[in-house]
């Protein structure tokens, strides 16, 4: 299991993913789930994955390196060459379908699920900054101004803070804090999500990565944020009057 969250805001994009994979209590490993493609001045694309690790890696490798023909007879494209983010989402969906064509029957024969989900965000050229979620069927949805964030993996514990506080007009710096609090809340409640966590911050129209960072257990800021959030929650609930009908 994993947890990935991305926010597409008026001012930019924040993407955050943990690195834990869990194939049982005695088989826990660390794998990077956030991949960043950057051609400065031309494109920045972030990819986050959840689900079956082998399938996720195969899809990302196909989209980045091997290439996919979106229509029969057309030359192959990769995320390095597609002309727009919509085309990137279509290509990623086609890569998912191609991996299903190859591996799906074998998985089904072993009673396995074709379990893969992807968050794809970024900007290409003078196109708009966009954020998509690609499903196991290869179809996708896009984040909107009404719902400016998307999540995959073990999302239920980190969703409330994003729901309550994030809007399309939220400052990128504030969104970064919200994403980190959302991740911390998830790690507190689910042991299948864990450190280190990988971060991408992209400012709209920059066409270069603003911040790419791996946050480890000993990160001073994250430790302080975790404690500050716990303290703030304690003060908040203690400050709320109890119901007049209690006791």
Q: Give the pLDDT confidence of 117-171 residue by residue, as tens digits.
A: 999 999 999 999 999 999 999 999 999 999 999 999 998 999 999 999 999 999 9
CA–CA gap between residue 164 and residue 226 (Å, rounded): 18
pLDDT digits (tens, 9 = 90+) for 189-211: 988 899 999 999 999 999 999 99
Query: Does the pTM exceed 0.85?
Result: yes
Show Cβ contacts of residue 158 under 8 Å, excluding neighbours closer than 6 positions.
3, 5, 151, 182, 183, 185, 186
Determine how many CB atoms are found less than 10 A away from the CB of residue 99: 24
User: 184 or 111: whose pLDDT is higher?
Assistant: 184
Q: For the residues of 168-230, what is the DSSP string, one character each?
A: TTS-HHHHHHHHHHHHHHHHHH-TTS-S-EEEEEEETT--S-SEEEEE-TT-HHHHHHHHHHH
Of 55-64, 67-76, 144-153, give the lowest mean pLDDT range: 67-76
5 forms beta bridges with: 16, 151
């Amino acid at each position: 299991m994993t947890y990935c969250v991305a926010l597409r805001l008026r001012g930019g994009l924040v993407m955050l993913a943990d690195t834990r994979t869990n194939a049982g209590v005695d088989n826990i490993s660390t794998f990077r789930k956030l991949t960043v493609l950057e051609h400065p001045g031309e494109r920045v694309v972030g990819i986050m994955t959840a689900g079956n690790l082998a399938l996720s890696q195969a899809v990302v490798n196909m989209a980045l390196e091997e290439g996919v023909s979106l229509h029969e007879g057309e030359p192959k494209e990769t995320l390095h060459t597609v002309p727009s983010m919509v085309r990137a989402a279509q290509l990623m969906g086609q890569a998912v379908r191609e991996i299903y064509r190859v591996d799906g029957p074998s998985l089904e024969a072993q009673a396995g699920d074709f379990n893969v989900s992807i968050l794809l965000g970024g900007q290409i050229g003078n196109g708009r900054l966009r954020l998509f979620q690609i499903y196991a069927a290869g179809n996708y949805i896009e984040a909107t101004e009404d719902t400016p964030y998307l999540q995959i993996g073990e999302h239920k514990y980190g969703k409330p803070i994003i729901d309550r506080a994030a809007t399309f007009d939220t400052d990128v710096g504030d969104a970064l804090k919200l994403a980190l609090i959302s991740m911390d809340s998830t790690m507190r409640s689910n042991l299948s999500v864990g450190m280190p966590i990988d971060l991408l911050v992209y400012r709209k129209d920059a066409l270069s990565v603003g911040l790419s960072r791996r946050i480890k257990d000993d990160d001073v800021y994250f430790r302080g944020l975790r404690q500050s959030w716990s303290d703030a929650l304690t003060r908040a609930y203690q400050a709320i009057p109890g119901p007049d009908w209690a006791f």
